[in-house]
């Protein structure tokens, strides 16, 4: 999802910062969708990055920048232990190894999409930049290990890496995925489409969010930032919006009206509540803010961004 939004933004801009884009290669396990009328050449490759030697072929053209977004999401990584490690860890390691193997002064900027799942309980109410990573899920563990690899390969000057710990992306467009956090988007997306959404947790649950538009901005800023200002700490927690589920619902009401709230159904799920209880609630992302990363101002803005970007500025009419 983020890859699609990222390439659409690149197609509109035609440049990364002040540098014109010549070629973009889209890589996925299914045929990637090309944006319409880009100002640069686009190539597509269908490949599984976790397959040995796949990454070597992808980097053979020596791209300047690699956005590494491929991942098995949280719920699926927990349900399928082997696949989670194969994709999230082995695939990342093979990408880094492919860059190292080229050598000959090749040092690409690799922007790695990490996650706030690298943090686990017990957690303070506000997590600062110096809090240690203690993941309590397989997905978070895989991302935390990949962060260490990214930093070490950067330290050894094989790559020029930047890791961005993304907040939960909300509102995700399209059909629900297998992420445990999917309900945060569903309770906004489905009612705005006139469909029923299931809420499996208490409305008192607090979490950290960013819109897809803000996440694309994070990735683009990470691609351009001067690596020297990062030093050896190459992974940053991104800024976001901390709200309770109740505050999400109130923002939905403020933007979409009272009628849409009737489409949210409370169906508690103990397994989801158990996982969510160990998740971060709020961050002080001072380092990222000081380095120029910018997030949404409020959750109401996140809802409005979804309506503008995905619904053409219109919402469904809910019958009374």
Q: Rounded to an integer, what distance in angstroms lies between the CA atom of residue 128 and that of residue 48?
A: 36
pLDDT at residue number 278: 82
pLDDT at residue number 212: 96
Global pTM value: 0.93
pLDDT at residue number 75: 82
pLDDT at residue number 180: 81
Q: What is the pLDDT of residues 235-267, one digit of tens each?
A: 999 999 999 999 999 999 998 889 999 999 999
Average pLDDT value for residue range 35-45: 92
Average pLDDT value for residue range 55-64: 95
pLDDT at residue number 139: 93
Evaluate the CA torsion angle 289, 222, 218, 179 in order and state its sign: negative
Nearest residue to 193 via CA among 82, 312, 274: 312
Q: Rounded to an integer, what distance in angstroms lies between the CA atom of residue 214 and that of residue 168?
A: 11
Taking the mean position of all CA atoms in its chain, how far away is CA 237?
A: 12
Instruction: Decide which of 152 and 18 is more confident.
Output: 152
Number of neighbouring beta carbons within 10 Å of residue 247: 16
Give the catalytic positions in this structure.
Answer: 139
Question: How far is it between the farthest Cα atoms of the chain?
Answer: 67
Q: Rounded to an integer, what distance in angstroms lies between the CA atom of residue 269 and that of residue 309?
A: 31
SS3 content of the chain, % helix, strand, coil (to 5): 45, 20, 40
Average pLDDT value for residue range 124-141: 94
Q: Rounded to an integer, what distance in angstroms lies between the CA atom of residue 12 and that of residue 26?
A: 16
pLDDT at residue number 317: 53
pLDDT at 320 over 60: no
pLDDT at residue number 6: 96
pLDDT at residue number 316: 62
Q: Rounded to an integer, what distance in angstroms lies between the CA atom of residue 181 and that of residue 148?
A: 24
Q: Rounded to an integer, what distance in angstroms lies between the CA atom of residue 31 and that of residue 9?
A: 19
């Amino acid at each position: 999802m983020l890859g699609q939004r990222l390439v659409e933004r690149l197609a509109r801009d035609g440049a990364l910062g002040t540098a014109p884009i010549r070629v973009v290669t889209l890589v996925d396990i299914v045929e990637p969708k090309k944006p319409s009328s880009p100002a640069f050449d686009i190539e597509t490759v269908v490949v599984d990055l976790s397959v040995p030697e796949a990454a070597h072929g992808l980097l053979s053209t020596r791209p300047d920048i690699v956005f590494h977004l491929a991942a098995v999401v949280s719920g699926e990584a927990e349900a399928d232990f082997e696949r989670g490690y194969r994709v999230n860890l082995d695939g990342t390691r093979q990408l880094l190894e492919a860059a190292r193997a080229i050598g000959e002064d090749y040092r690409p900027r690799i922007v790695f999409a990490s996650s706030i799942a690298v943090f686990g309980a017990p957690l303070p109410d506000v997590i600062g930049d110096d809090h240690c990573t203690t993941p309590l899920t397989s997905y978070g563990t895989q991302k935390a290990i990949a962060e260490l690899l990214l930093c070490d390969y950067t330290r050894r000057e094989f790559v020029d890496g930047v890791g961005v710990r993304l907040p939960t992306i909300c509102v995700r467009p399209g059909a629900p995925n297998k992420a445990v956090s999917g309900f945060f988007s569903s309770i906004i997306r489905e009612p705005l489409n006139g469909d029923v959404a299931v809420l499996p947790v208490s409305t008192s649950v607090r979490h950290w969010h960013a819109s897809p538009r803000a996440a694309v901005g994070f990735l683009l800023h990470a691609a351009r930032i001067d690596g020297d200002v990062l030093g050896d700490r190459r992974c940053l927690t991104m800024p976001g919006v901390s709200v309770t589920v109740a505050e999400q619902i109130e923002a939905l009401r403020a933007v979409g009206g009272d009628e849409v709230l009737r489409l949210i159904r409370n169906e508690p799920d103990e397994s989801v509540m158990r996982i969510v209880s160990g998740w971060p609630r709020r961050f002080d992302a001072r380092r990222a803010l000081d380095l120029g990363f910018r997030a949404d101002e409020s959750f109401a803005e996140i809802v409005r961004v979804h309506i503008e970007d995905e619904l053409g500025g219109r919402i469904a009419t809910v019958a009374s």
